[in-house]
Chain A
Amino acid sequence: AQKVTQAQTEISVVEKEDVTLDCVYETRDTTYYLFWYKQPPSGELVFLIRRNSFDEQNEISGRYSWNFQKSTSSFNFTITASQVVDSAVYFCALPSDNYGQNFVFGPGTRLSVLP
């Protein structure tokens, strides 16, 4: 069965520190997609990135970067020079079928960035 583990329940950092959020997944599929979502204190869920299992290149978007390693079934998310606005709960997610209809979300990591 598909499974997503985010072992870090809560992380606190001071502004401008770098922080990495871990995501480990289990899947029976040979090709699959992985996602990260952000849930700020206001409560809405915001899409951050989608990664295809074919593509193991790291992705960088501004202060955000993602490291996908198929060999260790990990898709980790790093925020460089964190800011208070990065404070949120971050979820890693994995579709449990090839059509992407049945999603499995990890339990989330709550990140607090202190000024």
Chain B
Amino acid sequence: NAGVTQTPKFQVLKTGQSMTLQCAQDMNHNSMYWYRQDPGMGLRLIYYSASEGTTDKGEVPNGYNVSRLNKREFSLRLESAAPSQTSVYFCASSELVYEQYFGPGTRLTVT
């Protein structure tokens, strides 16, 4: 079992460029999440998906879009990257109110 996988691990973008962060889980979980982690701020939820075909906004959704492609995959898209989106991004999955399993993270720098 790979658990939760994320690609890429590192990315550098110029302001205005777009990119998609990929996430996949092999635990058959219904719920998937995207977080960003900034120094001193903990993890902040960007979007989540309670089940295949549904997505909802979290605390900081502006500037992002998501797609729940199927039960396994949940992608995060930055349409026009901004320096304020420099962060570490984590994907996670869980079953209802049970513990979340996190991916290894993607370190994104926007210059």
Q: Are B58 and A102 in contact (CB under 8 A)?
A: yes
- Min distance, Cβ B99 to any Cβ of chain A, angstroms: 4
Contact A105 B43 (CB under 8 A): yes
Contact (Cβ within 8 A) B100 A103: yes
- Check if B90 sits within 8 Å of A100, measured CB to CB: no
- Assign chain B's interface to a size class: 20 to 34
Size category, A interface = 20 to 34
B42 touches A100 (CB 8 A): no
Asked whether, in the complex, the Cβ of A45 is within 8 Å of the Cβ of B56, the reply is no
Find out whether the CB atom of A103 lies under 8 angstroms from the CB atom of B104: no
Q: Which residues of B contact A45 (CB under 8 A)?
A: 43, 90, 92, 100, 102
With known contacts A105-B43, A107-B42, A100–B96 Cβ distance under 8 A: yes
Mark B residues whose CB is within 8 Å of A.
31, 33, 35, 40-45, 48, 50, 56, 58-59, 88, 90, 92, 94, 96-102, 104-105
